[in-house]
Structure 1
Amino acid sequence: MTRGFRPLFGLLRPHVGAVVLVLGASAASSALALAQPWLAKHLIDDGLIARRMDVVAASCGLMLAAAVLSLAMGAFNRWHYLTLSGTVLFRLRERVFGHLQRLPPSFFARRPTGDILSRMDGDVAEVQRFVVDTVLASVNAVLVLVGTLAVMAALSPELMVAAFVLLPVQVVAVRRLRPRLETLTRRLRERSAELSGFLVESLQSVKLAQVVGSQPRDAARFAALNAGYLAELRRAELFAAVAGGIPGLLNGLAAAAVFLAGGALVMDGSLTIGALVAFTVYLGRAAGPVNTLLGLILAQRRARVSLERVADLLDEPVAVVPPADPVALPADARGAVRFEDVGFSHGGERPVFSGVDATLPAGVKVGLVGASGIGKSTLIDLLHRHYDPHAGRILLDGIDLRRLDPAELRRRVAVVAQDSPVMAGTIAANIRLARPEASDDEIGRAAELAEIGHLGLETPVGERGLALSGGERQRLALARALLQDPLVLVLDEAVSAVDADSARRIAASVDALFAGRTRIVISHHADILDGAALVLELTSAGLIRRPTESAA
């Protein structure tokens, strides 16, 4: 991602009509607001001083009408601005989420969940506010400022000098404060991410904390994180108050200078009292746009910090790229898998394995064994194309996986892992994830075959499936795979959390249900590998065929 705001302004391009509408409504509302001080001048000079009640009444009526119209136009503008702002925010957030969905498992293994949430929530919102508010607020501020200055010049050109003599001082002050604000904002965002990460981690591990008695330590750490965040927040807010107070102080000095010079003009008869009152009101109105334009300098520094944090996510390289012209698996595909001299390493580190070469015939049961941490699950991740091998290639029914649509590949290769995720919802909803169009009967049959139907399809599973036992979560994942009806089924320690009798029953059911389809079984339990036509041991140097007594 280009680390600048210009590409992000492209988010507004599809909404040009809404931008024009909001700017038009804002300009109309501002014009009505500008009319009121002029009407006040007319009321004072031509009504009160001239003692004409009809002019006073007419001026008050016009001021009331302008106020009501300005209120209505402001509400109209606010509605459409909120719609535009929300749309841009959600599109940007969806863009980040879509990119995250394409990242490999290793990214989420090394990046704290709380940090990702902090960037997707607070930082994306900060970038959106700047992108939208910069365009709308700056254009509106310029329109209001130009209109205000034009009226002020018409009232008294002499007072213009006194009104804006200190403006260069404001500009210099804001520019000097900008780098410090960026540093404080970055530290505050980092503290926020630490807090989010701690809460996510702690809430996911409450049971462990209760078991090991770490609640007092966790509470103390949480208090320390809160104290650190509060300290950074106070520093940032104090600095923001000082930075924001300087323009206010200089505006006060400018107003005093206007009254001093204006008083002299009124006394020598070259300026009316109404004109002086109107000029000071317009001066106050001009301060808003001036402060808005000056504040954009500080807002840009805050947004730049958030932009860099969002860009860090968007710059994360995806591990696999779908082919531009994917090849479809043949209609008679049966699930033959071929590893051709496959090698892989994480991020250029020491290879996990190399020289993996094996043919897994279609329709057979294959056992895959090896020492813990040798890379068995990584090999399955390559088969599922979460990564591409750094050497060699993997073929499914004779087609290189890199030529297949990843979504189609993952529909045809189902993986039931030891820690298969379970989403909040019901058992039926979790099974249906594999095939949303499946009928209730199909879901019920998959649940029964996986021996989880007795719990009830509408039973809530809780957050991350915590209402289920480990064995029930594995059965639920197996039911999803059964509903998916794949060409290749991978069981990666899929029955490790159930008792031995249940594991044998499930293994026998899988063998019966998937007879004639390729099954890759990773297990440390020898009886689960019964009936395997081929047993392969993964080592750092490749796959070694081990003897087997039976065939499937």
Structure 2
Amino acid sequence: MNESLRALRFIYGYPLRYRREIITATVVMFLGLLGNIAVPLLMRSAIDIGVLGGESSSLLTTSLGVLAAGVVTTALLHFGKRMRFSVASKAVNDLREDLFRKLVHLGPADVAEASGGRALTRLISDAVAVRGLTNGGLLELLNQVLVTLAMLITALIIDARTTLLALIPLVFVAIGNFTVQLRLQRAFIELKGQFTKLLAGVGESLANINVVKSYGRETDASDRLNKVNEAHSARDGQMKRTYSRWEAALNVIGGLPTPIALWAGGNAVLAGTSTVGDLVAVVALVMMFQMSIHMLAMHTNGAFRSVVTAQRLLRIIDAPSVLSTREGSEEVPTLGALHATGIDVDIAGRRILDKVDFHVKAGETVALTGPTGSGKSTLLHVLARLRDPDSGTVTYDGADARSYAPSALRRRIVCLPQRQWIFEGTLEDNVRFARPEATRAETADAVEAAGLSHIPLDRRFGASTLDLSAGERQRIGLARVLLVDPEILLLDNPTANLDAETEAELLETVLRVRRGRTLIIASQQAAVSSYVDRTVSLASRESSVDVTATLAGATTLEGGKES
């Protein structure tokens, strides 16, 4: 229960950031809904005074009153909805911004929901749910409860006995609806999980479509997704059929109040204890009350779903960041030497780095080698402070890396990933992404130094363009580095997927533009060793056993210690 309440506080915190607007909208819509009660009361007056009393002028007045009530009610509801729609859009944008900011501080291995289609589901499907709960959910549930109570009180004042008799079936309807929602909540959780799995599968298949096609596995990939889709559809259909059966049964019971009101109210009129106008007003209020109970069930359902959605989003929000929250200095001196001592890193319950000591002198060029899974990329991330170790320290020229703000370090130390991101835009746009304030001349110099002078700056690329070679992609990444001009450069497997000739050309370019930078190249390619001052081999951990990969003339990290 406490977790559910916390989830609701979290998810409703976004629309409530705009408290003034949402309160105003809720009050306006409440007044609009309340205006509906005026119609039965005007009808009562029209019948008792106008028709039975023979006052035709009263009929005209009450008729105009019904028209005015309808116009005012419609206007209030329209105005309230417009305000809610505006708040809903802002709330969704705020939530997406918070989610994305959180996601970029998480590695895909650190939390399952941060990767691929799972993250996409959170940013699209789950975030959009905030729009629905802003326009309905608990806020509308509160309004509906208050309006329902107003209807009940009005009907009781007019004819208490008839009203109470008519409402007996609705007690069972309310209890039944609440029970159904509790039962379906578990099914809804499963359904959301299946949808996430489906979206993740589609995203991964499309992102790796060339691999699928290379092995002729298009049919298998399609069949695998179809199975998930069929399971999702079957569960969705089962949930809807269950709800439909309950809804049909509850609607039969929920339809009893009107005939009960007619029977009990009609007898009261015959007995002279009530008027015809009273009968019409009470029957109308009871019918409105029935509709209100139906709306309450819908909004209760929305509240239950809000809990599920919020709990899914909280898995990301609550996930620990890979960086400590301590604010560091924005002033970073010129960097050179790197020292990592006793570095431990656990990811998804697996020890990736274990008591690693790693030291690089200022201006030194080092190759970091090791088998797949030995933690080369993770160590580079720790050295660049893209993530903090679980234990151990990293120092830059003797100063603790955590004493500097991460944003300030990005101008001094850059870790170039294995796969370069190419987005839709020109070559200049893609290179200047690293330093947007750079001039066109500076960008052109970086592009030329990186060996891309054969590509015009205004050449446009599509997102994830396929008309660039692997070497050209890496050179775009190198041009970004040169534009930033850091003192320390970390390259994560830059020659992967390159042929020997392209690999040699790229490494020669890197060394030519190094300009005295401290350089660490993580790679599995033995050829890299001939371009560096020193080679360090990182051990692999499998089943808690250190397997040390040795190279001729190389330094090894045995058991995580440099030797």
Asked if TM exceeds 0.5, the reply is yes
Using the size of structure 1 for normalisation, the TM-score is 0.89
Instruction: Give the 3 Å change call, closer, same or farther, for CA 146–349 of structure 1 in structure 2.
Output: closer
CA distance in 1, matches of 2:414, 2:439: 19
Paired letter, 1:387: R
Structure 1 residue 448 and structure 2 residue 451: aligned? Answer: no
- Other-structure match for 1:511: 511
Q: Following TM superposition, by how much is the alpha carbon of 1:281 offset from its aligned partner in structure 2, in angstroms?
A: 1.4
- Other-structure match for 1:301: 304
CA distance in 2, matches of 1:75, 1:350: 58
Q: Following TM superposition, by how much is the alpha carbon of 1:82 offset from its aligned partner in structure 2, in angstroms?
A: 0.9
- Other-structure match for 1:170: 173
Structure 1 residue 481 and structure 2 residue 481: aligned? Answer: yes
CA distance in 2, matches of 1:538, 1:134: 54
CA distance in 1, matches of 2:158, 2:418: 79
CA distance in 2, matches of 1:543, 1:203: 36
1:191 corresponds, among 182, 189, 194, to 194
CA distance in 2, matches of 1:196, 1:382: 32
C-alpha distance after superposition, 1:265-292 (max 9, x if no partner): 2223333323222221111222233334
Equivalent residue runs for 1:10-409 within 5 Å: 10-107=13-110, 112-126=115-129, 129-130=132-133, 133-326=136-329, 328-330=331-333, 333-347=334-348, 349-350=350-351, 352-358=353-359, 360-409=360-409
CA distance in 2, matches of 1:498, 1:412: 28
CA contact (8 A) 2:25 2:83 kept: yes
CA contact (8 A) 1:104 1:386 kept: no
Aligned-partner SS, 1:120:
helix
2:9 corresponds, among 7, 10, 15, to 7
Instruction: Give the 3 Å change call, closer, same or farther, for CA 348–148 of structure 1 in structure 2.
Output: closer
Q: Following TM superposition, by how much is the alpha carbon of 1:547 offset from its aligned partner in structure 2, in angstroms?
A: 5.1
Q: Following TM superposition, by how much is the alpha carbon of 1:350 offset from its aligned partner in structure 2, in angstroms?
A: 4.4
CA distance in 1, matches of 2:260, 2:287: 13
- Other-structure match for 2:557: none
C-alpha distance after superposition, 1:290-332 (max 9, x if no partner): 33444454433333322322222223222221323437322xx
C-alpha distance after superposition, 1:225-244 (max 9, x if no partner): 22222211111212222343
CA distance in 1, matches of 2:23, 2:531: 70
Aligned-partner SS, 2:411:
helix
Aligned-partner SS, 1:463:
coil
Aligned-partner SS, 1:455:
coil
Paired letter, 1:539: A
Q: Percent sequence identity over matched residues?
A: 26
CA distance in 1, matches of 2:467, 2:51: 77
CA contact (8 A) 1:353 1:539 kept: no
CA contact (8 A) 2:33 2:147 kept: yes
- Range 187-196 or range 211-220, more displaced: 211-220
Paired letter, 2:461: V
CA contact (8 A) 1:181 1:298 kept: no
CA distance in 1, matches of 2:305, 2:363: 59
Aligned-partner SS, 2:259:
helix
CA contact (8 A) 2:110 2:348 kept: no
C-alpha distance after superposition, 1:5-63 (max 9, x if no partner): 45324435432211221122113212332212222222233333445443333322222
CA distance in 2, matches of 1:268, 1:308: 57
Q: Following TM superposition, by how much is the alpha carbon of 1:432 offset from its aligned partner in structure 2, in angstroms?
A: 1.8
Q: Following TM superposition, by how much is the alpha carbon of 1:166 offset from its aligned partner in structure 2, in angstroms?
A: 2.2
C-alpha distance after superposition, 1:199-247 (max 9, x if no partner): 1011112222222111222232333322222211111212222343444
CA contact (8 A) 2:88 2:130 kept: no
CA distance in 1, matches of 2:300, 2:76: 29
Instruction: Give the 3 Å change call, closer, same or farther, for CA 98–246 of structure 1 in structure 2.
Output: farther
Aligned-partner SS, 2:140:
helix
CA distance in 2, matches of 1:528, 1:136: 62
Instruction: Give the 3 Å change call, closer, same or farther, for CA 419–391 of structure 1 in structure 2.
Output: same
CA distance in 1, matches of 2:255, 2:317: 45
C-alpha distance after superposition, 1:134-184 (max 9, x if no partner): 442133113312322232123222212112122332233234323320121
- Range 119-128 or range 160-169, more displaced: 119-128
Aligned residues between the structures:
545
Using the size of structure 2 for normalisation, the TM-score is 0.87
Aligned-partner SS, 2:181:
helix
CA contact (8 A) 2:141 2:300 kept: no
Q: Following TM superposition, by how much is the alpha carbon of 1:257 offset from its aligned partner in structure 2, in angstroms?
A: 0.5
CA contact (8 A) 1:100 1:313 kept: yes
Aligned-partner SS, 1:509:
helix
- Range 482-491 or range 47-56, more displaced: 47-56
Structure 1 residue 463 and structure 2 residue 466: aligned? Answer: no
Q: Following TM superposition, by how much is the alpha carbon of 1:110 offset from its aligned partner in structure 2, in angstroms?
A: 8.6
Q: Following TM superposition, by how much is the alpha carbon of 1:530 offset from its aligned partner in structure 2, in angstroms?
A: 4.7
- Other-structure match for 2:560: none
Paired letter, 1:342: I
Aligned-partner SS, 1:168:
helix
CA contact (8 A) 1:23 1:136 kept: yes
Paired letter, 2:514: F
Q: Following TM superposition, by how much is the alpha carbon of 1:498 offset from its aligned partner in structure 2, in angstroms?
A: 4.5
CA contact (8 A) 1:34 1:148 kept: yes
Instruction: Give the 3 Å change call, closer, same or farther, for CA 232–523 of structure 1 in structure 2.
Output: closer
Q: Following TM superposition, by how much is the alpha carbon of 1:383 offset from its aligned partner in structure 2, in angstroms?
A: 0.7
CA distance in 2, matches of 1:41, 1:25: 26
Aligned-partner SS, 1:106:
coil
CA distance in 2, matches of 1:325, 1:351: 26
- Range 265-274 or range 110-119, more displaced: 110-119
Consecutive unaligned residues of structure 2, counting only runs of 5 or more, are: 541-545, 555-563
Paired letter, 2:494: A
CA contact (8 A) 2:343 2:353 kept: no
Instruction: Give the 3 Å change call, closer, same or farther, for CA 61–408 of structure 1 in structure 2.
Output: same
CA distance in 2, matches of 1:375, 1:5: 36
CA contact (8 A) 2:113 2:316 kept: no
Paired letter, 2:353: V
CA distance in 2, matches of 1:109, 1:47: 69
Paired letter, 2:347: H
Instruction: Give the 3 Å change call, closer, same or farther, for CA 270–293 of structure 1 in structure 2.
Output: same
Instruction: Give the 3 Å change call, closer, same or farther, for CA 545–413 of structure 1 in structure 2.
Output: farther
Aligned-partner SS, 1:103:
coil
Aligned-partner SS, 1:248:
helix
- Range 138-147 or range 348-357, more displaced: 348-357
Paired letter, 1:337: L
CA contact (8 A) 2:111 2:348 kept: no
Instruction: Give the 3 Å change call, closer, same or farther, for CA 523–154 of structure 1 in structure 2.
Output: closer
CA distance in 2, matches of 1:509, 1:227: 52
